[in-house]
């Protein structure tokens, strides 16, 4: 049985491992979890002892297959609860993350599987992130950053890289949501600002925005 804290470490290591070749550093974990490197070292030893991660002093850590599965189950819970909050309780997509941070630690396999069924087995959370199924499988979504999309090619907004409340509220304000049709009209060389078309109207946004929106071309 994992503690609340152990679960958070596993989840964090999982997220930091995405598209990462080498082990995850102590400092990276400390920064993400907002704790001190020495605390991370302590916890790392415990997780290593429990065979949830592979760890060699000074070399960073990677999840074992057991640790990976545990992490995926936490992510599964987090994202399913987010779907519940948005779809059933009418939360806005920028309000759900913190509550899901708590709900993800509720320990009942039966609960999460029944919740999954109740929600209709969703494959993505409200921010476009994939939801692992009960076996840990998640369909990898073919996505690219808007900033990598060629000019004048239309695409569909399917996710956000940064899912902070600030960014999500900005998107609401600009009427950008998952499913919006997006096209880059031109890039201003002087300040790297982007003139983009959302559905049927045009706005100008900064580079930071296009670097945090995922799109897919159909």
Q: Which residues bind a copy of itself (CB under 8 A)?
A: 85, 88-91, 95, 98-99, 102-103, 106-108, 110-111, 114-115, 118
Contacts (Cβ under 8 Å, ≥6 apart) of 3: none
Q: How far is the CB of 26 from a copy of itself (least distance, A)?
A: 28
Burial of 168 per CB tally in 10 Å (0-12, 13-18, 19+): buried
Q: Which does 85 bind (CB under 5 to 8 A by kind): DNA, Mn ion, a copy of itself, none?
A: a copy of itself
Q: How far is the CB of 108 from a copy of itself (least distance, A)?
A: 5
**Contact flag: residue 39 with DNA (CB under 7 A):** yes
| H or E element, residue 4 | helix 4-17
Q: Output phi, psi for 3, to 5 deg.
A: -80, 165
For a copy of itself, the closer of residues 96 and 209 by Cβ is 96
**Binding track over 49-68 against DNA, x by CB under 7 A:** ------x-xxxx--------
For Mn ion, the closer of residues 133 and 162 by Cβ is 162
Between CA 138 and CA 80, with CA 119 as vertex, the angle to 5 degrees is 50
For Mn ion, the closer of residues 7 and 183 by Cβ is 7
Q: How far is the CB of 92 from a copy of itself (least distance, A)?
A: 11
Q: How far is the CB of 75 from DNA (least distance, A)?
A: 19
CB atoms within 10 A of CB 118: 13
Q: Which does 97 bind (CB under 5 to 8 A by kind): Mn ion, a copy of itself, DNA, none?
A: Mn ion
**Contact flag: residue 201 with DNA (CB under 7 A):** no
Whole-angstrom distance, CA of residue 167 vs CA of residue 157: 14
**Contact flag: residue 41 with DNA (CB under 7 A):** yes
CB atoms within 10 A of CB 162: 14
DSSP code of 140? P
Q: How far is the CB of 132 from DNA (least distance, A)?
A: 23
**Token pair in block for residue 34:** 């907002």
78-107 residues in contact with DNA (CB under 7 A) are none
Q: How far is the CB of 155 from a copy of itself (least distance, A)?
A: 34
For the chain, the 3-state helix, strand and coil shares in percent, each to the nearest 5, are: 40, 20, 40
**CA dihedral of residues 128, 72, 32, 48 (deg, nearest 10):** -170
């Amino acid at each position: 049985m994992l503690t609340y804290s152990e679960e958070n470490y596993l989840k964090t290591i999982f997220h930091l491992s995405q598209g990462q070749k080498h082990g995850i550093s102590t400092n990276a974990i400390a920064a993400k979890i907002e704790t001190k490197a020495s605390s991370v070292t302590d916890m790392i030893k415990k997780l290593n002892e429990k065979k949830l991660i592979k760890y060699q002093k000074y070399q960073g850590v990677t999840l074992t297959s057991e640790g990976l599965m545990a992490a995926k189950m936490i992510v599964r819970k987090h994202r399913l609860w987010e779907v519940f909050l948005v779809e059933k309780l009418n939360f806005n997509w920028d309000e759900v993350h913190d509550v899901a941070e708590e709900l993800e630690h509720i320990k009942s396999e039966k609960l999460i599987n029944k919740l999954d069924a109740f929600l209709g087995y969703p494959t993505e959370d409200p921010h476009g992130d994939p939801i692992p199924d009960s076996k840990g499988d998640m369909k990898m979504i073919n996505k690219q950053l808007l900033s990598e999309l060629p000019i004048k090619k239309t695409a569909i907004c399917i996710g956000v890289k940064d899912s902070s409340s600030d960014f999500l509220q900005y998107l609401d304000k600009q009427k950008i949501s998952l499913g919006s049709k997006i096209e880059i009209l031109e890039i201003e060389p002087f300040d790297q600002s982007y003139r983009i078309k959302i559905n049927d109207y045009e706005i100008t946004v900064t580079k930071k925005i296009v670097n945090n929106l995922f799109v897919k071309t159909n």
